[in-house]
C-alpha cells in the first residue's frame, strides 16, 4: 500500500471454484456454561425447582427468600420424593401466628408481557389458597395479582396469568400461602404445611423458550447449523433431560467450579425444536467422558428412530412422533484436554471412537460423525496423526477448537494496543497453516480422503479470558472476520464452523443479555440486566452469513504489509497483507461478494476491479467500523457499533470506495448472470 495515498487494489478474476462455500461455516454454539442458559431462555425466574442449596441458612433455596411475619414459621428444603424431580420448598405455618407466609424472588417485570404462571404444589387442608403477586417493593405497589385454589395433599398443577401494570426493573414475584381463618384449625403435628415443587413464569412472547429478542437476533444470524456441546456434555446423560420437565432430575453442572445446576428445561426436544424454528441443522455432541457407546446409540435412536423402536416410542410418548433426522453427531468434546472429564490418549480415544461409531451407525447408517481433533498439539503431541491413523476411515469430519490469543502469542493486558491488534488479527494465518497440516495428513492415505474439517468452537480469547471484555470489541470482530475469511478460503476442506458462544457464556457470546460482559463486576451492577444487544462480532456474523456466499472467486490483492511479532507457533507472521480478502459468487450467479478485513489501524482508498465480469450499476457497501479498535457495545450504548450500509456506483467495471481503519467491509456487486461465465 502506497504510504502517501494509501491506495489498495483488489482484482476479482473470472475463475470460480468447483466446490461450494458451506452455509454451515456460519454456525453457532449452545452450551450450559456460566449464565448462557439463563440469559438465553425466556424464564425470568431462577431456580424454578428449588434445586439450589440453602446457602445462607434461611431455610429457602437459592435466590428465593422467605416472606411473612410469623414468629414460628418454619422454612426447609425437603428431599426428593415420588412425583417431583428434586428438592421441594417446604413451609410450615402456625395458627398461633395468625398470618400468611411464602417465598419471593427478585425479577424484572415487563409491562408489555403477559406471563404464564405455573406452580406445582401440595398442602395440608389448612392452606386453602395461594396468592401470587408481582410487586414493586420500593414503592410498596402491587403490579399484578392472582389467586389459585390449593385443594390437595397430593401434587397439584396450578396455572394462571399475570400482567404487570407497568414495567419495573426491581420487581419481585411473591407466592403467599394463605391459611384458613384461625377459628377453623388448631396447631398439631400435621397442620399448616405447604410444599412448592415448581414455580415459573414464562412470557407469552417467547419463541422456542428463548427471550423474544434473543430468538429474533439468532434468526437474523442465518447460522445454518447449531451445535449443542461443550465441556458439560462429558458429564451429561441425555435421558435425564427428556420428558416432562418437572420430572427431570436436578444435578450439579460438574464441568466448572460453582457452575450451578444443569439447566433441565432445555434438553434434546427443546434444542431440536429451536433448530426447526430457526431453520437450521441441529448438531449434537455426545458424552464420551462419562457416557457409553450404548447411551450415545440410544440418543441417536431417540432422535432418528421411528415409533417402532424403543427410543422412538419414548420420543413419541414425550409428544414428538416424527423422527428428528439429526444428521451431525460429534463424538466427544476436547477429549485430549486435562480439564475434560474422561481425558484420554489418542490411542484410547480412537478405540472408544470406533466403538461409539459402530453403535451409533447401527441405529442410523445415514448420520455423519465428527471425530475429536486438536488445534493445540502441545497438549497431546501427535494426537491428530494418531487418531486419523487409527479411526479416521470411520470419520466424516475431524473437529478443531480454535481460540486465538495468549495460547499462541505473548500478549496480555499490558501489551500495547497496536501490538495486540496485529497479533490478534494475524492468527488466521496460523489457522490456515493448521488446516494445511491436517489436509496433508488426510491426503497421505486414500481411505482418509473423504474426511473434512469442522471447527466446532472458535472465537478470540484474551489473556486467555475472562478478566476483560476484549472479546466484545471491534478488534475482536476484525480478528474473527479474518478467521471467517480463512475458513471460506479453505472451504474445500473446512465445511462446518461453530462460533463460541451464542449468548453470554464463557469467552464472548455474540449476543449479550445484561451486563455480565464485565466479568470482574457482580452481575446487575448496571441496573440493566435485561438489555439484549449484539456485540461487534454479532454484527459481523450477520453481515457475512446474510450475503449467502456460494462459490469462491479468484482474487488478488495489492496492499501494504505488516509484521505480527513473535509467536510460539512454527509459522512466520511477517510480511502479512494488511487487507485480508476473499471473494465469492452468489448461488444465483447474480452478484460477487467481496469480504474485506482491514488489519491496519489506518484507513485506505480502495479500488475493486471487476472487469473480468459484466458488473455495472450500483454496489452495496456494508461496513463495520468505529472510532477505535477497542470500541464496543454495552448495556448503555447497545448500538454504538453496527453494520452501516451505503451505495456506491461502478465505473468502467471498477468500484472505488474508502475503507475505515480497523474495519470489516463487505462489497456486494450486482452482475448480469446471463452475460457472465459462471464456473
Buried b (16+ CB within 10 A) or exposed e, 92-121: bbbbebeebbbbbbbbbbbeebebebbbbb
> Does residue 444 surpass a pLDDT of 70?
yes
Does the domain spanning 65-203 belong to CATH 1.10.630.10?
no
What per-residue confidence (pLDDT) applies to 3? 43
> Does residue 25 surpass a pLDDT of 90?
yes
* Closest CA relative to residue 650, chosen from 621, 673, 617: 617
> Does residue 81 surpass a pLDDT of 80?
no
Looking at residues 631-654, what average pLDDT do you find?
96
What per-residue confidence (pLDDT) applies to 2? 42
CB count within 10 Å of CB 54 equals: 17
Backbone angles phi, psi at 50, to 5 degrees: 60, 35
**Rounded Cα gap, residues 201 and 343, in angstroms:** 40
- List own/partner pairs for 245-254 with CB under 8 A and 24 or more apart: 246/49, 246/84, 246/85, 246/120, 246/197, 246/198, 247/84, 247/85, 248/85, 249/80, 249/85, 249/86, 250/49, 250/51, 250/85, 250/86, 250/87, 253/32, 253/33, 254/341
Q: Give the CB-side neighbour count of residue 307, counting CA atoms within 13 A.
A: 7
105 forms beta bridges with 173
Looking at residues 272-285, what average pLDDT do you find?
98
CA angle 611, 617, 623 (to 5 degrees): 90
Burial class for 439, CB neighbours closer than 10 Å (0-12, 13-18, 19+) = middle
* C-alpha cell read off for 32: 450450559
> Does residue 221 surpass a pLDDT of 80?
yes
Tell me the helices (H) and strands (E) count for the chain, helix number first.
Answer: 10, 31
SS3 362: helix
Looking at residues 22-51, what average pLDDT do you find?
94
214 compared with 565, residue with greater pLDDT:
214
CB count within 10 Å of CB 1 equals: 22
* Closest CA relative to residue 372, chosen from 406, 348, 408: 348
What per-residue confidence (pLDDT) applies to 675? 52
**Beta strands 225-228 and 27-30, pairing class:** parallel
Q: Where are the domains of the chain?
A: 7-17+550-670, 21-42+224-463+477-497, 65-203
Average pLDDT of every residue of the chain: 93
What per-residue confidence (pLDDT) applies to 406? 67
What per-residue confidence (pLDDT) applies to 299? 98
DSSP state of 511: E
Helix ranges, 258-373 (H): 268-278, 293-304, 310-317, 346-363
What per-residue confidence (pLDDT) applies to 242? 97
CB count within 10 Å of CB 21 equals: 25
Range with the lowest mean pLDDT among 78-82, 191-195, 250-254, 632-636? 78-82
What per-residue confidence (pLDDT) applies to 257? 77
Predicted confidence band of residue 676 (pLDDT cuts 50, 70, 90): low
Residue 290: partners with Cβ closer than 8 Å, 6 or more residues away = 234, 235, 237, 341, 342
* Closest CA relative to residue 532, chosen from 20, 17, 39: 39
Looking at residues 604-632, what average pLDDT do you find?
95
Does the domain spanning 21-42+224-463+477-497 belong to CATH 3.30.420.40?
no
**Rounded Cα gap, residues 322 and 198, in angstroms:** 29
What per-residue confidence (pLDDT) applies to 72? 96
Predicted confidence band of residue 408 (pLDDT cuts 50, 70, 90): confident
Looking at residues 39-48, what average pLDDT do you find?
94
What per-residue confidence (pLDDT) applies to 519? 78
Residues 609 and 450: beta-carbon distance below 8 Å: no
**Rounded Cα gap, residues 678 and 230, in angstroms:** 41
536-561 pLDDT tens trace: 999 999 999 999 999 999 999 999 99
Does the domain spanning 7-17+550-670 belong to CATH 3.90.1300.10?
no
455-509 pLDDT tens trace: 999 999 887 665 568 889 999 999 999 999 999 999 999 999 999 999 998 878 9
What per-residue confidence (pLDDT) applies to 131? 97
Task: Provide the strand spans (E) within 539-590.
Answer: 549-558, 561-562, 576-577, 579-586
What per-residue confidence (pLDDT) applies to 53? 87
> Does residue 5 surpass a pLDDT of 70?
no
Residue 572: partners with Cβ closer than 8 Å, 6 or more residues away = none
Which helix or strand (DSSP H or E) is residue 424 part of?
Answer: helix 417-443
* C-alpha cell read off for 632: 464496543
* Closest CA relative to residue 597, chosen from 615, 611, 583: 583
What per-residue confidence (pLDDT) applies to 4? 44
Q: Is the N-terminal amide bond of 292 cis, ω within 30° of 0?
A: no
What per-residue confidence (pLDDT) applies to 167? 93
Largest separation between any pair of C-alpha atoms in the chain: 95
Residues 255 and 341: beta-carbon distance below 8 Å: yes
Looking at residues 108-121, what average pLDDT do you find?
94
**Rounded Cα gap, residues 649 and 616, in angstroms:** 8
Amino acid at each position: 500500500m502506497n504510504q502517501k495515498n494509501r491506495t489498495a487494489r483488489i482484482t476479482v478474476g473470472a475463475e470460480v471454484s468447483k466446490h461450494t462455500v458451506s452455509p454451515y461455516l456460519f454456525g453457532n454454539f449452545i452450551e450450559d456454561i456460566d449464565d448462557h442458559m439463563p440469559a438465553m431462555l425466556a424464564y425470568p425466574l431462577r431456580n424454578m425447582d428449588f434445586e439450589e442449596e440453602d446457602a445462607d441458612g434461611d431455610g429457602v433455596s437459592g435466590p428465593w427468600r422467605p416472606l411473612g411475619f410469623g414468629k414460628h414459621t418454619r422454612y426447609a428444603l425437603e428431599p426428593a420424593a415420588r412425583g417431583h424431580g428434586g428438592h421441594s420448598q417446604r413451609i410450615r405455618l402456625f395458627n398461633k401466628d395468625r398470618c400468611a407466609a411464602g417465598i419471593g424472588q427478585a425479577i424484572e417485570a415487563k409491562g408489555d408481557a403477559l406471563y404464564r404462571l405455573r406452580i406445582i404444589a401440595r398442602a395440608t387442608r389448612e392452606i386453602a389458597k395461594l396468592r401470587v403477586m408481582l410487586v414493586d417493593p420500593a414503592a410498596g405497589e402491587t403490579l399484578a395479582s392472582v389467586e389459585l385454589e390449593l385443594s390437595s395433599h397430593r401434587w397439584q398443577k396450578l396455572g394462571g396469568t399475570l400482567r404487570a401494570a407497568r414495567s419495573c426493573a426491581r420487581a419481585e414475584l411473591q407466592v403467599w400461602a394463605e391459611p384458613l381463618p384461625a377459628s377453623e384449625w388448631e396447631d398439631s403435628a400435621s397442620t399448616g404445611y405447604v410444599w412448592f415443587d415448581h414455580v415459573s413464569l414464562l412470557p407469552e412472547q417467547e419463541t422456542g423458550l428463548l427471550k423474544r429478542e434473543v430468538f429474533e437476533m439468532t434468526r437474523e444470524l442465518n447460522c445454518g447449523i447449531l451445535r449443542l456441546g461443550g465441556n458439560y456434555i462429558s458429564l451429561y446423560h441425555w435421558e435425564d433431560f427428556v420428558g416432562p420437565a418437572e420430572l427431570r432430575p436436578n444435578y450439579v453442572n460438574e464441568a466448572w467450579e460453582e457452575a450451578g445446576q444443569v439447566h433441565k428445561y432445555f434438553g434434546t426436544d427443546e434444542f431440536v425444536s429451536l433448530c426447526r424454528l430457526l431453520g437450521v441443522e441441529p448438531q449434537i455432541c455426545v458424552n464420551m467422558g462419562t457416557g457409553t457407546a450404548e447411551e450415545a446409540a440410544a440418543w441417536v435412536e431417540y432422535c432418528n428412530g421411528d415409533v417402532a423402536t424403543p427410543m422412538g416410542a419414548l420420543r413419541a410418548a414425550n409428544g414428538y412422533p416424527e423422527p428428528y433426522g439429526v444428521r451431525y453427531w460429534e463424538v466427544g468434546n476436547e477429549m485430549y484436554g486435562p480439564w475434560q472429564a474422561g481425558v484420554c490418549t489418542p490411542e484410547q480415544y480412537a478405540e472408544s471412537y470406533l466403538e461409539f461409531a459402530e453403535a451409533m451407525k447401527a441405529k442410523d447408517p445415514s448420520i455423519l460423525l465428527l471425530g475429536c481433533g486438536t488445534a493445540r498439539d502441545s497438549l497431546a503431541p501427535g494426537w491428530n496423526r494418531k487418531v486419523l491413523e487409527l479411526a479416521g476411515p470411520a470419520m466424516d469430519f475431524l473437529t478443531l477448537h480454535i481460540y486465538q490469543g495468549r495460547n499462541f502469542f505473548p500478549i496480555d493486558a499490558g501489551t500495547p494496543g497496536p501490538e495486540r491488534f496485529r497479533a490478534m488479527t494475524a492468527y488466521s494465518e496460523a489457522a490456515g497453516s493448521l488446516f494445511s497440516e491436517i489436509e496433508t495428513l488426510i491426503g497421505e492415505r486414500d481411505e482418509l480422503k473423504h474426511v473434512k474439517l469442522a471447527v466446532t468452537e472458535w472465537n478470540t480469547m484474551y489473556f486467555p479470558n475472562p478478566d476483560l471484555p476484549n472479546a466484545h470489541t471491534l478488534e475482536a470482530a476484525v480478528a474473527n472476520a479474518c478467521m471467517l475469511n480463512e475458513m471460506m478460503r479453505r472451504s474445500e476442506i473446512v465445511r462446518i464452523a461453530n462460533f463460541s458462544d451464542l449468548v453470554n457464556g464463557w469467552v464472548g457470546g455474540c449476543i449479550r443479555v445484561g451486563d455480565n460482559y464485565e466479568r470482574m463486576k457482580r452481575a446487575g451492577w448496571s441496573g440493566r440486566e435485561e438489555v439484549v444487544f449484539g456485540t461487534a462480532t454479532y454484527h459481523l456474523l450477520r453481515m457475512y452469513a446474510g450475503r449467502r456466499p456460494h462459490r469462491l472467486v479468484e482474487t488478488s490483492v495489492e496492499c501494504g504489509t505488516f509484521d505480527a511479532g513473535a509467536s510460539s507457533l512454527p509459522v512466520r507472521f511477517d510480511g502479512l497483507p494488511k487487507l485480508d480478502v476473499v471473494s465469492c459468487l452468489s448461488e444465483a450467479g447474480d452478484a460477487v461478494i467481496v469480504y474485506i478485513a482491514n488489519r491496519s489501524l489506518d484507513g485506505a482508498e480502495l479500488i475493486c476491479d471487476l472487469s473480468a465480469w459484466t458488473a455495472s450499476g450500483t454496489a452495496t457497501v456494508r461496513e463495520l467500523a468505529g472510532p477505535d479498535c477497542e470500541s464496543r457495545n454495552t448495556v448503555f450504548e447497545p448500538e454504538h457499533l453496527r453494520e452501516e450500509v451505503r451505495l456506491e456506483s461502478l465505473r468502467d467495471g471498477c468500484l472505488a470506495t474508502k475503507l475505515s481503519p480497523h474495519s470489516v467491509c463487505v462489497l456486494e456487486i450486482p452482475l448480469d448472470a446471463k452475460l457472465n461465465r459462471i464456473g
